[in-house]
Amino acid sequence: MYNLQWLKLEIKIFSNRKIQILLKETEGDTYFRGWIQLITIAMECNSEGKLVIGKNTPMTIENFSKIMGKSKKKMEKIIKKFQELNMLIIEEGAYKIKNWSKYQSVETNEKYQEQNRIRQQRYREKLKSEKEKSNVTITENNAQEDNTRKENENNNGFREYKI
C-alpha cells in the first residue's frame, strides 16, 4: 500500500468529457464537488481506489451521505450518475474509482520511492566506505608542519607573518 498526502488533478480536468457532462447537469457543481470528495475519501481509505471503511467493509450511500452532508436521496442520484458515466464501478462489493492507479500515478510514486530508497542506500554505503578508507596517519612532514604552525602563533592565538 501507499500513503499519499496529496491528490493529483489533471490541469485539463474541465476538458474531460465526463466532467463536462457533469457540469452541464442542473446541479453540476454539486456533482463535481461530490466527485472530488469521493476521490479524497478514496485517498483516505488507502485501498487502491476502493471506498471502504477499515480494510474491507464497503462504504454505503448512507456513509457517503453522512460524510458529504447530503441527503440519502441526493447521494443515490450522484452515485448513479457516476456509475452511468463509468467513473465509479463496483468491485468485490465496494464502490471503486475507475482507473484509480492511472489517474493518481500510484506506480510512478512507488517507483519514485524505490529510487529514493536505492539512492539513499548507495549514499550510506559510500559514506561508510570513505570512513573506512580515511584512516589518517601522521607522517613526519605533517608533524613538522603542525609544529611550525604552533611556533608561529603568538600568545593571543594569532599567527605572525613576516613580509
- Say if residue 1's pLDDT is above 50: no
Among the listed residues 135, 151, 131, the one whose alpha carbon sits nearest the alpha carbon of residue 143: 151
> Around Cβ 97, how many Cβ atoms within 10 Å?
23
Q: Which long-range contacts (CB under 8 A, 24 or more apart) does 10-16 make?
A: 10/103
**With contact defined as beta carbons under 8 Å apart, do 67 and 21 qualify?**
no
Q: Decide: helix, strand or coil at residue 114.
A: helix
**With contact defined as beta carbons under 8 Å apart, do 23 and 30 qualify?**
no
- Say if residue 145's pLDDT is above 70: no
Which residue type does 105 have? S
C-alpha cell at 111: 517507483
State the pLDDT at residue 77. 93
Percent of the chain residues past pLDDT 90, beyond the cut: 29
C-alpha cell at 121: 542506500
Cβ neighbours of residue 67 under 8 Å, at least 6 residues apart? 37, 41
Q: 27-57: b or e for each residue (b if 16 or more CB lie within 10 Å)?
A: eeebbbebbebbbebbbebebbbbbbeeeee
Which residue is associated with the grid cell 489517474? 103
| pTM to 2 decimal places | 0.60
State the pLDDT at residue 72. 93
**pLDDT (tens digit, 9 = 90+) per residue, 80-134?**
999 999 999 998 888 998 888 777 765 555 666 677 778 888 888 888 887 777 6
